[in-house]
Structure 1
């Protein structure tokens, strides 16, 4: 946990203690009631923070999960079940979990507006079911007793603050785990998450389950506040309004959840004092959500990002010191073949072996019977003009293209029946032409995500220094595009895979930067035990780093073998290199 996170946690806990000590003694009964409503709303907003703020899924049915939690709490109260409200809250949250998972299943196939329609349909169905019958205890006015010593409104406010704080701390701890980090990746790119070995299905369903649990707890708290609830307390319109607030404020941060709860609690009072229709509050929330979507960042995200960037820029300045004005050192010498190679690459056992790979998109044959092997401890190049099928080759080999012909083997084990995440878990990693790194992550967090394990700080520092990246505490939001590509490569290597497939990692770099990157790349097999397949258009880089090269043209292999021999092949010069000579290194 970095210094900023520790300070935020300390400030948050201090604010919670202060609120419990001061507010019940200074607020009137009416404002205490509104404060309870704000904290109950803040708990429900935390459920939006998980599914909307972290995972980036459009869910419009969180109040339906809250209704399930309230129903279970009231039913247990009527039945006189042991444990009291505290235990019933947990049971109400757990009752919402299987429903949350069921609602999350469509998210494995659809997303965006289509998924929002599905979740909103569930909210409508819940409204119909709730209005068909009353909540338990409503007919005979069975009141819900609050736990000791929180029976009064002032005490119950303290109780809601405690519940909110416990959930906030648990979510903060979860955010630092692989599951929590995977949600941020899902929000920006499901393909990148799968390439890092994340099971997109499990991660999404976990987000729905945890958010449903929190919403169910929030519904139980509302039942404890009102003792008796009615269907209108969980109307589908409330889910819409809270969703808009979530987009606008960002409830995946505790302060955002509290602000969302406060807005929901006092908006009706503000509209009444201003002599405006109650529905006008929803219009304001919708307008704020549109502005946040246009800016691409919620208000709390914007505030936190600015703080982290200010701290990180000072860190970068301190790390650079007085030498930052000096010119960059000259590019280190590069060699075509690593000196430590015990034998020619063509005579080594293949780490990655692709045979007869054929990919068709309708009538278009993108790859036609392509053979390619990456020997152990080698850097192998894959080149060809735009549209030759290079990226399609990487996508098919790493499992992002289904239904291909041929075989893909890693260390002699077939991978053809596996999807992207299992292939990544077996030791086959890739990068993409366009990076999609969550900007709110630090470089340390992104390397941890790529490694798929808790990465020791010393190991992360070694990787960052090796690839020429800034200090690991720097957030990705202040890292330039070229460095992000290097960070992507570092994340792939951090997993210590058997083979890494790099799709144009040097794009956008200067000639000197490209040569420095090439020098590092030739050391990767020996230093980290990772064989490399490099897709590049920079012929100088390819000749400087690759022992073997395969050339594609219109999905066909037109040449394959040692780099110098391939570059001298007349067919390669005619089809790809043209008439101009390319200097050999």
Structure 2
């Protein structure tokens, strides 16, 4: 589905959000007392900073505890430029403050390329502690001279400044929404669920993570500049490390990667205590609300706004699916065209693996394995559990380093390349266990897999060919068997030279598995993609594969035309014991 078509589907939400922003700009300055307008500014400034958590925590799933430190950089730059009477004025300084935080964000993001989870949280929190020490040891610009920051002439009054911060929040929200529809934005969603799957789709994990840190630092820096504009002068306590920790907890609970979540986070994180005091409500109520939200997030595994959005999306998808099924039931079933038995391809090698050896300590998982996938062929790789099949795919696609031997695609060596680089060169794979982000639609997942924007017609053709449900359905409504088919469709959508499929028929019935085998046999001619198929289902292997290689304890024990190999007594003894094997 094209970017334009996807944005058209979100038009109602976009107009609703813009309408809410316009209404706030009109009503808040006109109806609220001055102090409440000031609180509203605080909430929106905090919501801008929450959007930085939305990028790094909500979209990418990285535990960053130093966003307020990035905000302090933005505030410092704005105040320093104010002291120097630099040209450009506040709005230019605001952008420069955000840009100044970017290189620091990238530097903090570098450890994220090797560590994750709690260890990364410790690193980012360590930076927040260091920033606290530096800020407390040095005055913020303007404090010594008592030179306060003057707002632009149009925004001197709090009511007008509220409009400015709402406009900035809205522009950032729109920018992030557009970014979320690009391959980079969707890759962030995939990274949150599986870095390995993202790399297998040609996504550079390093570039995507560093881009997320850079963009989140920019947004936080802008938020810090807005805070300086609100207060005139700021002190280190405005950016204390515990502020970062508290807002991180709010981000996990509410989900600031959704605009409404950022607004709720801004209100809850910045002004909830003051609002309760002004309404003569006990402060414990805020703690109770936070506790309920935290328990909900822990129980459901998603933020409040994610949960609300997913329920709404699934209701709409179920209604669409019901209508689609009713329409499909009225159409006569088309008989499946017979597929000729697979024939041995004689084309040039698409993939050449020579002498592949993988050792884990003293254990040899693969020992000098040779395998060739001819251009235009479907080749099988079979063997009993523990034979080394998955290790073979992982090594060939770059997920296992330090192997011996060579891997070449169309004669070009790939051994020094990362998994994402190999995928970009034309070597795609699937995994035994799917880790597709449930909030993505199938169209969006195909876009990630293809590495380019697909037309609706092209995406529908792929989904129909592999027997997947309609592309508008979110993955959360797709069963496990259909998700595996979607994985195969995404690998083929990229039109790679070779697709390595690791047990794609898992979760399929016997009839579905046989149908998949027939479809895979057509993939080289239909899509120009050669296939290496790892499977246990012999009916599928015989339906799809022209050649088969058999592994046993990391050694190749047979290789050749499918019928001959499966009839080999050595293969039957290693793979099926003494039982007879039907041969097509």
TM-score (norm 1): 0.96
Q: Corresponding residue for 1:299?
A: 304
The Cα offsets for residues 289-314 of structure 1, whole Å up to 9 and x where unpaired, read as 45313311111111111111111112
1:220 to 217, 220, 225: 225
On the 8 A contact 1:504/1:535 being kept in 2, the answer is yes
Q: Corresponding residue for 1:166?
A: 171
* Cα distance in 1, alignment partners of residues 23 and 426 from structure 2: 50
CA change 1:59–1:289 in 2 (3 A) is farther
Secondary structure class of the residue paired with 1:125: helix
**Residue 560 of structure 2 corresponds to residue 561 of structure 1:** yes
Cα displacement (A) at 1:329: 7.7
RMSD: 1.7
Secondary structure class of the residue paired with 1:532: strand
Count of aligned pairs:
577
Structure 1 residue runs without a partner (length 5+) = 339-343
Secondary structure class of the residue paired with 1:500: strand
Alignment of 1:168-567 (within 5 A): 168-270=173-275, 272=277, 273-276=280-283, 285=290, 288-289=293-294, 291-324=296-329, 333-337=338-342, 344-345=344-345, 347-567=346-566
* Cα distance in 2, alignment partners of residues 396 and 334 from structure 1: 33
Cα displacement (A) at 1:147: 1.1
The Cα offsets for residues 330-378 of structure 1, whole Å up to 9 and x where unpaired, read as 876454315xxxxx32x32111010000000000000000000001110
CA change 1:134–1:314 in 2 (3 A) is same
**Residue 62 of structure 2 corresponds to residue 63 of structure 1:** no
* Cα distance in 2, alignment partners of residues 551 and 576 from structure 1: 9
On the 8 A contact 1:104/1:205 being kept in 2, the answer is yes
TM-score (norm 2): 0.96
On the 8 A contact 1:335/1:545 being kept in 2, the answer is no
* Cα distance in 2, alignment partners of residues 132 and 265 from structure 1: 25
On the 8 A contact 1:331/1:515 being kept in 2, the answer is no
* Cα distance in 1, alignment partners of residues 265 and 505 from structure 2: 44
1:35 to 19, 33, 40: 40
Secondary structure class of the residue paired with 2:532: strand
**Residue 117 of structure 2 corresponds to residue 112 of structure 1:** yes
On the 8 A contact 2:567/2:583 being kept in 1, the answer is no
Q: Corresponding residue for 1:152?
A: 157
Q: Corresponding residue for 1:143?
A: 148
* Cα distance in 2, alignment partners of residues 552 and 287 from structure 1: 54
On the 8 A contact 1:548/1:562 being kept in 2, the answer is yes
1:83 to 88, 100, 103: 88
Secondary structure class of the residue paired with 1:393: helix
* Cα distance in 1, alignment partners of residues 394 and 499 from structure 2: 12
* Cα distance in 2, alignment partners of residues 325 and 114 from structure 1: 56
Cα displacement (A) at 1:324: 3.9
On the 8 A contact 2:293/2:304 being kept in 1, the answer is no
On the 8 A contact 1:334/1:515 being kept in 2, the answer is no
Cα displacement (A) at 1:140: 2.1
* Cα distance in 1, alignment partners of residues 288 and 352 from structure 2: 58
* Cα distance in 2, alignment partners of residues 282 and 275 from structure 1: 10
Cα displacement (A) at 1:210: 0.2
Secondary structure class of the residue paired with 1:369: strand
Structure 2 residue runs without a partner (length 5+) = 1-5
Secondary structure class of the residue paired with 1:149: helix
